[in-house]
Amino acid sequence: MIVRVLQTGWRHAVAQWRMAALLYAVNLSAALLPALAFRSSASSLGTFPAVQDLLSVFRFSTFIDVLRVYGREVTGVLPVLPWLVLLFIVINTFLAGGIVASFCGMEMEFSGKGFFSSCAEYFFRFLRLLLLWGVCVVIVSGLSLGIMAVAWSWITDNAQTETAGLTVLAVAGFVFLLIATWMVAIADYARIIVVANDERRVFRAFVGGAKFVAGNLFRTLLVLLVPLLIFVIALVIYFVKEDWLGMTSAGTVFLVFVLQQALTMVRHWLHIFAYASETTLYMDQVPMIV
């Protein structure tokens, strides 16, 4: 069943290549605004020879020198970063409505007008859902870290070798990854429930998403992890190619830039692929949980 779900999601995502191009264009446009604002700071930093050395091989002493000489420029940029992160979260929350609506209706013909209409229709519900999800993430993360800290303290106090501590770290990292994937899956299926059922009570949608993920734990996590694995492979290929090309000339710099944009486009398409597969899985399983 999982193979069929992923195949269906893949076909739907391929058919929506224009949606991926639109997501890329919107995020690129949003990124250009802060990039232009930071251009003056980047230009002044670029005149400092140690910056070029820092970009090639990171050295902590060089990093301290850059902060000492150009501390005002660097620290002036830092307060803006949280607002930029918030901006991209809001933008992608807005775009999520159009993505989910496209697959809940299974309309293979992409329409910009219809896409943005769905974005606007579900934006405030998705925003409230995001706030609720954020509160739950803080609570779950706090409890998880507290349990891990207690386990770490008890095991390291009673361990005879350093292997026990490393084992705890490995297990804790694996558990944290599973919890993070579980929380992302809940958010995705809650959005699908909002759109598929036209649910206006976001708490009910969130609970429904949690129940659906709990009842189909292996399937939901696998459907989410496959796009993530593909992206990791693409990321590894990018870093290998970047290291092979180097940035020693204008031509290689341009090629690296093209690779970066291709990787960004792949990321947006995989986002669509994930939603398409999750929606397919939900539509197949929803009769079992109604």
What mean pLDDT is predicted for residues 268-273?
94
Q: Which residues contact 139 (CB under 8 A, 6 or more apart)?
A: none
* Weakest mean pLDDT among 205-209, 235-239, 249-253: 249-253
The CA angle 21-22-25, to the nearest 5 degrees, is 85
How many other CB atoms sit within 10 Å of the CB of residue 123? 17
Maximal C-alpha separation, the chain:
65
Distances (CA, A) of 122 to 68, 89, 97, 218, 269: 47, 15, 5, 28, 21
**Per-residue confidence (pLDDT) for residue 289, from 0 to 100:** 40
**Per-residue confidence (pLDDT) for residue 51, from 0 to 100:** 47
pLDDT at 66 over 70: no
Note the helical H segments in the chain.
Answer: 2-15, 17-37, 39-46, 49-56, 60-77, 81-104, 112-158, 163-196, 202-215, 217-245, 250-289
DSSP per-residue codes, 128-175: HHHHHHHHHHHHHHHHHHHHHHHHHHHHHHH-SSTHHHHHHHHHHHHH
Mean pLDDT of all residues belonging to the chain: 80
Q: Where are the domains of the chain?
A: 2-289
**Per-residue confidence (pLDDT) for residue 67, from 0 to 100:** 57
This prediction has a pTM of 0.79
**Per-residue confidence (pLDDT) for residue 181, from 0 to 100:** 86
The helix (H) or strand (E) run that includes residue 109 is none
pLDDT band at 189 (very low <50, low <70, confident <90, very high): very high
The answer to whether 74 and 250 are in contact (CB under 8 A) is no
Residue 191 main-chain phi, psi, to 5 deg: -65, -40
pLDDT of 125-152, one tens digit each? 999 999 999 999 888 888 877 877 777 7
Q: Quote the CA–CA distance of 189 and 278 in Å, as a whole number.
A: 7
Greater confidence (56 vs 88) lies with 88
Token pair for 112:
């910009």
Q: Among the ranges 161-165, 179-183, 230-234, which has the highest mean pLDDT value?
A: 230-234
pLDDT band at 54 (very low <50, low <70, confident <90, very high): very low
Tell me the torsion sign for CA atoms 170, 171, 174, 177: negative
pLDDT of 89-130, one tens digit each? 899 999 999 999 988 874 557 788 889 999 999 999 999 999
**Per-residue confidence (pLDDT) for residue 123, from 0 to 100:** 94
Token pair for 221:
């996590």
